[in-house]
């Protein structure tokens, strides 16, 4: 420490490089890790059934007729079938359309169906019927919990009460859930676009999927998937989307190590005579190498502590402010401790090795000759 405090300028450069690169890596790692953890938990909540399918990959361009829905519910092995109608509403000409989801919801316990983040304690009797809006819809349109809103449905305004706000990572423009029974009563539309099937105990989902494709008319055009397949595909898309952040983290490490190497190289050059004198006094190259390694590890350790602290603060801003304002999605803070520990160990080892490598001149004969020049 005394040696390092003797050259505060070079040490500051080294610390700044480590703090900047580590804080960037830590903040991105925490943000991406929290986002992935939240998406994973969200998928668990919205995929409770054993088999899912939809009429068309694009959303609401094809429909499941009521008689087809009855035939699906009667397929051997199906214990329960729930159907969903997806359509779009234009609430504001200056904004994208909002997705309206007509599905079965238990008013007494809507959390069984929706991943709620806020809900009314009770629905007021005699008031407008309930709807549940996504976080994006609440932010974009100012739908507060308990507010009475008007939806353009069935070519007339329909008033509803915002009974809850739920998390939705699939529809950035916002989504609104309405009870399917109410939707049918308002529109007379009994068609569906999506279905979720719960199977009898011991029945394989693959066999039911094959039966639907084989036995039902138009079954081969349906897009069927098991919840595990949907989950894996969704997380794969997530990982590909955020692959660039991993590249940024690697670039930050490289930049930090280059800056550390340059500053330590300059520090060693300024201390050549000191190292030469130590060699004259009998200090071996290995001992000088260990001294440089200790100095590099000390600087790196201080930089890691400061970088982790700053990165944690930045991650909170990214999660609670930037992400919410940019994407209107909430997420839970999740610390990827194993990844952060591995990151700290790797940076510490690389930084220490970089310090030793950049100071290799101090372990050579040039340092000895530098002392002789003074004689």
- In this prediction the pTM is 0.83
Q: What SS3 string covers 138-189? A: HHHHCCCCCCEEEEEECCEEEEEEEEEEECCCCCCCCEEEEEHHHHHHHHCC
Give the pLDDT of residue 4: 47
Tell me the H-state helices in 194-336: 205-215, 227-241, 243-270, 272-280, 285-317, 323-327
Neighbours of 195 (CB within 10 A): 23
| Tens-binned pLDDT, residue by residue, of the chain (375 aa) | 445 454 445 557 667 777 888 888 899 889 999 999 999 999 999 999 999 999 976 655 689 999 999 999 999 999 999 999 999 999 999 888 999 999 999 988 999 999 999 999 887 788 899 999 999 999 999 999 999 999 999 889 999 999 999 999 999 899 999 999 999 999 999 999 999 999 999 999 999 999 999 999 888 889 999 999 999 999 999 999 888 887 877 787 777 777 666 666 666 666 666 766 776 677 777 787 787 778 778 877 888 899 999 999 999 999 999 988 888 888 999 999 998 998 888 888 877 777 777 666 555 555 445 555 555
Q: How would you write 182-224 as a 3-class SS string? A: HHHHHHCCCCECEEEEEECCCCCHHHHHHHHHHHCCCHHHCEE
> CA-CA distance, 164 to 277, in Å (whole number)?
75
CB under 8 Å to 364, separation ≥6 — which residues? 285
Q: Write down the pLDDT at residue 211.
A: 94
Q: Write down how long the chain is.
A: 375
Round to whole Å and give the CA distance between 221 and 56: 8
Residue 264 CA from chain centroid, whole number:
37
- pLDDT recorded at residue 7: 46
Cα 89 from Cα 96, distance rounded (Å) = 9
d(CA 149, CA 158): 8
């Amino acid at each position: 420490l005394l040696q390092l405090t003797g050259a505060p300028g070079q040490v500051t450069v080294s610390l700044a490089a480590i703090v900047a690169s580590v804080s960037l890596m830590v903040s991105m790692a925490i943000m991406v890790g929290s986002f992935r953890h939240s998406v994973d938990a969200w998928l668990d909540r919205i995929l409770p059934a054993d088999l899912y399918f939809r009429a068309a990959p694009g959303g609401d361009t094809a429909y499941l007729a009521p008689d087809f829905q009855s035939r699906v519910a009667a397929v051997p092995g199906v214990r329960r079938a729930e159907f969903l109608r997806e359509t779009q509403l234009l609430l504001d000409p200056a904004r994208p359309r909002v997705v309206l989801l007509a599905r079965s919801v238990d008013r007494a316990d809507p959390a069984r169906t929706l991943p709620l983040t806020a809900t009314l304690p009770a629905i007021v009797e005699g008031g407008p019927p309930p709807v549940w809006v996504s976080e994006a819809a609440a932010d974009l349109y100012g739908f507060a919990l308990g507010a009475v809103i008007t939806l353009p449905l069935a070519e007339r305004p329909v008033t509803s009460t915002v009974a809850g706000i739920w998390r939705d990572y699939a529809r950035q423009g916002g989504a609104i859930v309405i009870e399917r029974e109410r939707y049918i009563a308002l529109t007379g539309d009994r068609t569906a676009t999506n279905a979720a099937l719960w199977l009898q105990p011991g029945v394989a989902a693959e066999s039911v999927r094959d039966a639907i494709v084989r036995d039902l008319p138009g079954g081969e055009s349906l897009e069927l998937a098991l919840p595990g397949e949907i989950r894996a595909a969704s997380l794969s898309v997530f990982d590909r989307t955020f692959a660039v952040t991993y590249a940024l983290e690697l670039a930050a490490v490289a930049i930090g190590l280059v800056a550390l190497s340059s500053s330590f190289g300059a520090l060693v050059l300024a201390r050549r005579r000191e190292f030469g004198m130590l060699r004259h006094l009998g200090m071996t190259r290995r001992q000088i190498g260990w001294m440089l390694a200790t100095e590099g590890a000390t600087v790196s350790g201080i930089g890691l502590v400061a970088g982790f602290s700053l990165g944690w603060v930045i991650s909170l801003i990214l999660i609670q402010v930037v992400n919410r304002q940019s994407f209107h999605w909430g997420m839970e803070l999740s610390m990827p401790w194993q990844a952060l520990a591995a990151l700290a160990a790797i940076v510490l080892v690389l930084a220490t090795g970089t310090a030793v490598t950049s100071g290799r001149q101090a372990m050579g004969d040039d340092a000895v000759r530098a002392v002789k020049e003074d004689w």
